[in-house]
């Protein structure tokens, strides 16, 4: 499935960049209505009378702007820094953590000043040499759905292909990845896919490819020589969870070529939510069946200064033990980077 915006907004400054002009012309050829906006952080007047309608319309809206190249945010535990290429994605995952970080502004953003962004990236690399500096390209976005318009991932992958002391990584739920298979990555980019069980995908991950489609895309990526990784998230403690996640691991193991299993990473993230996220989720998805009962969770303060509701210690231990055992059985050479 390919993201087709219903409408687009441009910061005037974005049209001063070659990529901005290119995207503008593409959208005109696609008959997408284009308007101007004073800032990519302030787009008003989107349709929608209810919170759910407004959210839905925002997810169909593309905003093209210029990202200020100030300090890059840190990105623990997966990388040293976030690399700001995009913001948001067109998928409608009910549990998405961006419900907290983006709130009422979930529209998609593309940043066209890629040369400036990569020049800033190079400064960070130089400061830490000869150590390897790792950059995450999907901390607040899924960058794949807009790649056919921007080429930002392709450009970034090839940039890191030429950096001895830096590595790039990003994650996607989407399968429109064929254009990235020919990039000269030099094994410096870890291409990761976010997976979950068929039950979770059909229940909560609206407007996303199926599990089979994601695995098929991952096989293509492995065959193109990229280091591969998977995020299994969020892991839900629910009836039948052991069987569902075991099936997921078994299906993945059966599909991946042997070469991919020699350099493979997993990141495991259990379901959690904040008060703010719960409020936004229940407004946007009033019929949600997500498990959001605060009394069934443990309250834990996070690294960003706000607390979240997580599973209790016993449940977390059971989830960790079963998941790591299943992965070790099917992928003995793989590395589980973290479980949270």
With residue 299 as reference, give the H or E element that holds it: strand 298-301
- Mean pLDDT rounded to a whole number for the chain: 95
Identify the domain containing residue 172 by its residue range.
7-339
pLDDT at 304 over 70: no
Note the pLDDT of residue 46. 87
**Section 157-174 average pLDDT:** 98
- 305 — pLDDT class (breaks 50, 70, 90): low
Note the pLDDT of residue 69. 80
**Number of domains observed in the structure of the chain:** 1
Alpha-carbon distance of 240 to 97, in angstroms, equals 24
Backbone angles phi, psi at 272, to 5 degrees: -150, 165
- Asked if residue 114 is part of any domain, the answer here is yes
Note the pLDDT of residue 76. 84
Note the pLDDT of residue 303. 62
What does the block give as tokens for 225? Answer: 């020589």
- Asked if residue 2 is part of any domain, the answer here is no
- 263 — pLDDT class (breaks 50, 70, 90): very high
- 100 — pLDDT class (breaks 50, 70, 90): low
CATH number of the domain enclosing 15: 3.80.30.30
pLDDT at 130 over 90: yes
- Asked if residue 243 is part of any domain, the answer here is yes
CB atoms within 10 A of CB 123: 10
- Asked if residue 1 is part of any domain, the answer here is no
Alpha-carbon distance of 87 to 40, in angstroms, equals 10
- Asked if residue 281 is part of any domain, the answer here is yes
Name beta bridge partners: 230.
193, 266
Helix axes 114-128, 152-161, angle to 10 degrees: 30
pLDDT tens-place string over residues 222-261: 999 999 999 999 999 999 999 999 999 999 999 999 989 9
Range in 14-28, 85-99, 107-121, 151-165 the model is least confident about: 85-99
Sequence-separated (6 or more) residues with CB below 8 Å from residue 166: 121, 125, 132, 133, 134, 135, 160, 188
Residue with tokens 């820094």: 81
State pTM to two decimals. Answer: 0.95
- 301 — pLDDT class (breaks 50, 70, 90): confident
Alpha-carbon distance of 142 to 148, in angstroms, equals 13
Alpha-carbon distance of 68 to 82, in angstroms, equals 14
- Asked if residue 296 is part of any domain, the answer here is yes
Residue with tokens 């695995």: 215
């Amino acid at each position: 499935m390919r993201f087709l915006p219903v409408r687009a907004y441009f910061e005037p400054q974005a049209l001063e960049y070659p990529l901005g002009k290119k995207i503008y012309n593409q959208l005109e050829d696609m008959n997408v209505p284009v308007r101007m906006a004073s800032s990519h952080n302030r787009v008003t007047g989107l349709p929608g009378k209810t919170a759910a309608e407004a959210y839905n319309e925002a997810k169909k809206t593309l905003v093209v702007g210029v990202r200020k190249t100030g300090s890059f945010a840190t990105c623990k535990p997966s990388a040293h820094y976030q690399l700001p290429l995009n913001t948001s994605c067109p998928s409608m995952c009910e549990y998405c953590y961006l419900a907290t970080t983006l709130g009422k502004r979930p529209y998609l953003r593309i940043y066209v000043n890629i040369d400036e962004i990569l020049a800033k990236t190079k400064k960070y690399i130089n400061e830490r040499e000869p150590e390897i500096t790792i950059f995450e390209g999907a901390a607040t976005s899924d960058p794949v759905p807009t790649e056919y318009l921007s080429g930002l991932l392709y450009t970034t992958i090839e940039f890191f292909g030429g950096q001895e002391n830096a590595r790039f990584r990003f994650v996607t739920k989407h399968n429109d990845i064929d254009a990235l298979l020919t990039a000269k990555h030099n094994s410096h980019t870890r291409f990761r896919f976010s997976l979950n069980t068929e039950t979770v995908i059909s229940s909560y991950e609206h407007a996303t490819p199926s599990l089979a489609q994601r695995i098929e895309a991952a096989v293509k990526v492995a065959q193109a020589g990229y280091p591969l990784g998977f995020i299994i998230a969020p892991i839900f403690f629910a009836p039948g969870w052991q069987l569902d996640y075991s099936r997921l691991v078994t299906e993945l193991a059966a599909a991946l070529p042997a070469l991919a299993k020699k350099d493979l990473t997993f990141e495991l993230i259990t379901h959690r939510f904040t008060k703010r996220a719960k409020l936004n989720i229940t407004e946007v998805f009033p019929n949600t069946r997500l498990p959001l009962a605060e009394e069934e969770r443990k309250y834990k303060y996070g690294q960003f200064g706000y607390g979240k509701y997580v599973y209790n210690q016993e449940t977390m231990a059971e989830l960790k033990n079963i998941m790591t055992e299943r992965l070790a059985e099917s992928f003995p050479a793989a590395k589980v980077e973290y479980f949270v």
